[in-house]
């Protein structure tokens, strides 16, 4: 167990927020966008503006769970020559802020390197763990073993269409938190939050029992008001596309200013 991650689990950040009587804010940005250093800089802005947990997306050629905003950012990162190894440098720099830092990745990029090798590199970079949108626990034997060996969080997804049995099993397989997708769909900001989300969170809590990992709700949240609403029934609020959009098609400095404002708005939202 010598390789065990020195990073704090995301659950520590959730616990701290809960002790303060508020929701946890989880912010997503892709690595390598607009550049490797630009992404690190942007993550630091989020950390500075009050985000509790950072998810770093690993750009992939075939991101089936992502909507247009994250697809475009990922395509730009890949076109600029982003390599998977760059994510470990990114994690190392971002985790140095003290904010628990996870990587969100499609499975093939991990499988290509080997789950154990990937887990080792992530742990030594100070990463907290992985969020895996196209890996279900049924197919995750290698990752369950590797994440155990290196003491990493493993965040699987549950959906409104999941049966109670799957919700219980998937949540039990999670460490750090469980990612509840609020709507049936891909990533992207939506005008209104979903009415399926409170029901899903309630089902997770009922199915997983009192010792359940915290529940984060993602897909569609884009402003402080929506964050406040979601924080009213879930442990955490996960925001991706709205943050990424701050950085699309603008000068980096302008983008970071918008990112700072939105993060602050969201951070205020989870404290309402």
Among positions 89, 116, 144, 160, the unique one binding other proteins when judged by CB under 8 A: 160
Residues in the chain: 272
Peptide bond into 34 cis (omega under 30): yes
Under 8 Å between Cβ of 180 and 200:
yes
Beta bridge partners of 29: 56
Task: Find the catalytic residue in 66, 153, 169, 235.
Answer: 66
Given 158, 200, 221, 228, the residue binding other proteins (CB under 8 A): 158
Helices (H) and strands (E) in the chain — how many of each?
A: 12, 9
Strands 178-181 and 157-158: parallel
> In 3-state terms, what secondary structure has residue 32?
coil
Binds other proteins (CB under 8 A): choice among 4, 20, 48, 111: 111
Number of residues binding to other proteins, judged by CB under 8 A: 41
Can 149 be counted among the known catalytic residues?
A: no
Residue of 96, 136, 144, 257 interacting with other proteins (CB under 8 A): 136
Q: Which of 52, 55, 121, 229 is catalytic?
A: 55
CB of 136 to other proteins, least distance (A): 6
Stretch that binds other proteins, among 24-32, 151-159, 209-217, 220-228 (CB under 8 A): 151-159
Do residues 224 and 265 lie in contact, with contact meaning Cβ atoms separated by under 8 Å? Answer: yes
- Residue 229 annotated to the active site: no
Considering only 20, 48, 138, 251, the residue that binds other proteins (CB under 8 A) is 138
**Backbone phi, psi, residue 158, to 5°:** -125, 155
The 129-131 sheet, strands edge to edge: 153-155, 129-131, 101-104, 53-57, 24-30, 236-239, 215-218, 178-181, 157-158
CB of 148 to other proteins, least distance (A): 21
Q: Which of 20, 139, 164, 261 binds other proteins (CB under 8 A)?
A: 139
For other proteins, the closer of residues 7 and 156 by Cβ is 156
Angstrom distance (rounded) from CA 78 to CA 81 = 5
* Contacts (CB under 8 A) with other proteins, residues 178-197: 181, 183-186
Residues tagged active-site: 55, 66
Binding site for other proteins (CB under 8 A): 60-65, 67-68, 71, 75, 78, 83-84, 107-113, 133-136, 138-139, 156-163, 166, 170, 181, 183-186
């Amino acid at each position: 167990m010598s390789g065990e991650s020195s990073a704090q689990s995301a659950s520590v950040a959730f616990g701290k927020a809960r002790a303060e009587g508020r929701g946890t804010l989880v912010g997503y940005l892709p690595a390598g966008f607009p550049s490797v250093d630009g992404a690190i800089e942007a993550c630091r802005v989020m950390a500075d503006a009050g985000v509790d947990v950072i998810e770093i997306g690993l750009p992939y050629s075939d991101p089936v769970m992502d909507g247009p905003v994250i697809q475009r950012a990922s395509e730009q990162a890949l076109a600029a020559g982003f390599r998977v190894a760059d994510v470990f440098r990114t994690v190392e720099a971002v985790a140095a802020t003290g904010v628990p830092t996870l990587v969100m990745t499609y499975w093939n990029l991990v499988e290509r390197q080997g789950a154990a090798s990937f887990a080792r590199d992530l742990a030594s970079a100070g990463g907290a763990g992985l969020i895996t949108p196209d890996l279900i626990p049924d197919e995750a034997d290698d990752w369950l073993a590797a994440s155990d060996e290196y003491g990493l969080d493993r965040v699987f997804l549950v959906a409104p269409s999941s049966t109670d049995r799957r919700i219980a099993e998937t949540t039990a397989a999670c460490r750090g938190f469980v990612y509840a997708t609020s709507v049936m769909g891909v990533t992207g900001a939506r005008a209104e939050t979903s009415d399926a989300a409170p029901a899903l969170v309630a089902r997770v809590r009922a199915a997983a029992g009192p010792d359940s990992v915290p529940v984060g709700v993602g897909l569609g949240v884009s402003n402080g008001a929506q964050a406040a609403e979601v924080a009213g029934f879930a442990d955490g609020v996960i925001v991706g596309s709205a943050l990424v959009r701050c950085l699309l098609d603008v000068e980096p400095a302008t983008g970071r200013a918008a990112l700072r404002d939105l993060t602050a708005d969201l951070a205020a939202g989870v404290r309402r």
